[in-house]
Amino acid sequence: MHLQELSEISGVSGQEERVREYIKEKVSSVASEFWTDALGNLLVLRKGKKNSKKLLLAAHMDEVGMMVTRINDDGTLSVMPVGGLRPLVVLGKHVRVGNEVVGVVGTRPIHLQRDQKKKVEWSDLQVDCGFTSKEEAKKHVKVGTYVSFITRFLEGNTYFSGKAFDDRGGCSVLLDVLERIEKPMYDTVFAFVVQEETGLRGSTVVAEQVKPDVAIVVETTTAGDVPELEDYHWATHLGDGPAITFMHRGYVVDPRIFERLIALAKREKVPFQYKMRTAGGTDAARFARSLYGLPSGVVSIPCRYIHSPVSVMHRDDYLHTVELVEKIVETGEVIP
């Protein structure tokens, strides 16, 4: 399992280099061939027993974060989100600005707020790195610098917590499968893609290079079992196994692939659940609009509090996702 190392690496959309280098080091001994394309996607080929068809597995390397948009006179930094991130979840959090500078996301203390019910906007926030002036800040930071969360990965008996589980969880699953699988049924490309969080950008480039018969996206998805949300609103539940998607924003999963995923999980006795809400999107939507309309499926690890500085994942959900994805590669049965 590579989840801890992957989680603690900074890799906001457009700055996935450190994540890619970590993965590249791990796959070098198990790949038939691997390469990085012009956009930054890392593609890893494993030769199969048959080369009559081709399977693509995809997980995205990037995480949500922020970017410096202004250096203020008092030395604080104004920021805006990169990807789907709300200002409310970043208040008071430690962040890394670039590679070296550490700061805290601050706003006016609650004691000094006249309207405590006011909605927090990005314009209300500043990153405080301890600089006392614009001139001092400019020596260390420039506009356009990425800002990522500083979150320590923690592992208990049942749960993991950390940042960027969306989608370092999927990346870790693909690495585990690469290391475990002896021989795929078909030639299989494991794609670690960039810039999913800012518009599903990397996946189109991957599809055009690989031209597979079927793609399976391995993701992390929202869990519904969180405070103040009734169970009939839950998308998934921690501990019930990987979630298999039938529809999400921008894409209705090809019924042939959906049914084959379900049948495979049942036959192999891998616990699974359906993703019961259709909010959110994945690279499968982009694959469906690429080339010839690449048929795709989605298998996800349920996770609480994604797109925030700290997420929570159930150990068994992760392990069962690895098990299911391994069976997908081993049998090749998702290809109609």
- Give the active site residues: 196
Helix (H) or strand (E) holding 236: none
Q: Residue 61: helix, strand or coil by DSSP?
A: coil
Tell me how far apart the alpha carbons of residues 189 and 34 are, in angstroms, rounded to a whole number: 9
How far apart (Å, rounded) are the C-alpha atoms in residues 242 and 292? 28
Contact between 89 and 83 (Cβ < 8 Å): no
Q: What would you report as the CA-atom Rg of the chain, rounded to the nearest whole angstrom?
A: 20
Q: Which of 102, 107, 151, 108 is nearest to 126 (CA)?
A: 107
Strands 247-248 and 159-162: unpaired
How crowded is residue 247: how many other Cβ atoms within 10 Å of its Cβ?
Answer: 13
